[in-house]
Amino acid sequence: MPVDEFRMPSLGADMEHGKVVEWLVKPGDYVHKGDLVAAVDTDKTVMDIESFQDGVLAEFLVDIGDTVDVGTPIARITATPAELPPAQPPLTSGAPSPDARSPLAAREPTPAHQGAEAGHPEPAVKAAPPVRHLAHTLGVDVGHITGSGPGGEVVRADVERAAADTLAAAATEEAAAEARRVRSSPLARRLAAELGVDLQDVSGTGPGGAVTEDDVLSAVPPRGRPPREQVAEAPPSEAPAREPAPEAAEEAPRQKRPTAAGGKAETLRQAVGALMSRSKKEIPHYYLSTTLDLAAAMAWMQAANQQRPVSSRLVPSALLLKATALAAKEVPDLNGFFTKGAFHPSSEVHLGVAVALRHGGLVAPALHDADTLSLDELRDLVSRAREGRLQRAEMADPTITVTNLGDLGVESVYGVIYPPQVAMVGFGKVLEQPFADNGMLGIRHAAIATLSADHRVSDGLRGGRFLARIDELLQEPDKL
């Protein structure tokens, strides 16, 4: 039977290694293609990664906390439960032992098997070769099946029934485990482990009661004297010689609290800094800017939001993202990768969106085929990125990146291109500005859009056309 290795995936063009911070499945679990199997920490964020195939997870090849290079095998997946490694060493007695690899091997032995262990020969199980082959394929031990055929012969229906019972039992166990599992983001789980917080004791305030990073931080004991049980468990050598001064007691927790998130933010900042330094050295940037007329877009959005519940209302960034994706589709010189000394345009628009994380730093998830997504789908992905609930496919291969700092009050931003991409678009704060039209003064909503582009691939003519097309698309927001 085929045995495949599940390897550390590449979660970005510049990713070289990753650290497994949590396994979301256990050996013996059947996983389908697309099921989440592990949480991986890169230099930028923690992401859940999914299986690329169907099969049974046979064993882990790396431990939690191990950092390995991209492409390194981290788990082994087999086609059926029958290929799992033995759960226990074989019996040393001369009696034939039950197949420890079979999910049914844990059952109590029948009287016939007890007789075999006492030294009496075990009667042979009657089953045709095709039936035995089917049993092996499904991971079923025919020795534990009561046959319904002539003379107690095991037939195909018996094997299929036993396999169905095994899968039903596994599904029940999985459902029970899922019920006990606390809903939380990978970031919240990692932070809880570092701070010694039991997620079972934390009340979640996130969607559907999920535990968030803020919930974990709120569950940490208040500053000052630690809980009594922690004092009792502390080794005598760690006990202070005298009571610390009030100033020291106040300062110590303040320095320790941001360690978990602060350390990650510092690592992220170093990784981003190294990449941006490379970008400025290798890419000849040119910059353009224009003021977008958002009067029509804001009026349409406000009217649409009156028909929506508060939780699903649109924001200006959703319209800006969709207009950018459509413009990139029409101006392909700004959408693609510069690798091996040549530009390779992309036929698809995977829009990278620079999102500020709660613990600090930035991450750029990719909105695949963004020109075909609805405004609601664009809004949802940005929300999940901020909560640390991204999947591998949502971080891979953005073809052009957008950064929007308008929420922070920034009026214009000139970004640094994210290699191997060839363009970065920036949006500033939406403001009410005075304007003149046919000799009349008025007020309109507007925002500054900027473009940082690679002069090896495009020039001011193409860049100017790209920004102008974004502005044109925003004049017909109902078509976005």
The domain segmentation of the chain, as residue ranges, is: 3-79, 186-256, 284-479
CATH fold of 3-79 reads OB fold (Dihydrolipoamide Acetyltransferase, E2P) (2.40.50)
Q: Is the pLDDT of residue 225 over 50?
A: no
pLDDT, one tens digit per residue, over 148-199 is 888 888 888 888 888 888 777 777 776 666 555 667 766 777 777 777 778 7
Cα Rg of the chain (Å, integer): 30
- From the CB of residue 185, how many other CB atoms can be counted at a distance below 10 Å? 22
Burial label for 443, CB within 10 Å (0-12, 13-18, 19+), is exposed
Share of the chain above pLDDT 90, in %: 25
Q: Are 46 and 39 in contact (CB under 8 A)?
A: yes
Neighbours of 145 (CB within 10 A): 20
Task: Write out the two tokens for 417.
Answer: 């291109």
Q: Mean per-residue pLDDT for 62-78?
A: 86
Per-residue confidence (pLDDT) for residue 237, from 0 to 100:
40
Per-residue pLDDT averaged across 307-326, rounded? 90
Does the pLDDT at position 336 exceed 50? yes
**CATH (residue range 186-256):** 4.10.320.10
Whole-number Å distance between alpha carbons of 40 and 65: 9
Region of poorest pLDDT, from 20-34, 69-83, 313-327: 69-83
Q: Which two tokens stand for residue 470?
A: 């974004």
- What is d(CA 126, CA 154) in angstroms, rounded to the nearest whole number? 6
Indicate whether 252 pLDDT > 70. Answer: no
Q: Is the pLDDT of residue 260 over 80?
A: no
Burial class (CB in 10 A: 0-12, 13-18, 19+), 141: buried
Quickly state the pLDDT bin for 325 (edges 50, 70, 90): very high
What SS3 state is found at 471? Answer: helix
- Give SS3 for 9: coil
- Return d(Cα 480, Cα 478) in angstroms, integer: 6
pLDDT over 90 at 241, yes or no: no
3-class SS at 364?
Answer: coil
Range of lowest pLDDT (104-118, 272-286, 351-365): 104-118
Q: Which of 430, 386, 188, 181 is nearest to 297 (CA)?
A: 430
| CATH code for the domain defined by 284-479 | 3.30.559.10
Residue 393: partners with Cβ closer than 8 Å, 6 or more residues away: 50, 368
**In the structure, what pLDDT confidence band is assigned to residue 363 with cuts at 50, 70 and 90?**
low
Helices 259-282 and 186-195 pack at an angle, to 10 degrees, of 130
pTM of the model: 0.51
Q: How far is CA 130 from CA 75, 137, 159, 339, in A?
A: 32, 11, 11, 54
Q: Are 387 and 206 in contact (CB under 8 A)?
A: yes
- What's residue 445's pLDDT? 94
Instruction: List residues bridging with 352 in a β-sheet.
Output: 366, 401
Single out the residue of 80, 79, 89, 86 nearest to residue 101, CA to CA.
86
Minimum mean pLDDT range among 115-129, 246-260, 272-286, 326-340: 246-260
pLDDT reading at 2 higher than 80? no
Tell me phi and psi for residue 356, to 5 degrees.
-80, 125
**Which range has the worst mean pLDDT, 1-10, 109-118, 163-172?**
109-118
Highest mean pLDDT out of 133-147, 174-188, 341-355 = 341-355
Residues linked to residue 73 through DSSP beta bridges, in sequence order: 7
Cα angle: 446, vertex 452, 456; to 5 degrees? 145
Residues 6+ apart with CB under 8 A from 439: none
pLDDT of residue 85: 53
At 191, give phi and psi (nearest 5°).
Answer: -65, -40
- Residue 129 — very low, low, confident or very high, per pLDDT cuts 50/70/90? low
- Check pLDDT > 60 for residue 107: no
Neighbours of 99 (CB within 10 A): 19
Using DSSP, state whether 327 is helix, strand or coil: helix
Residue 146 · residue 152 · CB < 8 Å: yes
Measuring CA to CA, which residue among 338, 340, 382 is closest to residue 364? 382
pLDDT above 80 for 227 = no
Task: Verify cis geometry, omega within 30 degrees of 0, for the bond prior to 89.
Answer: no
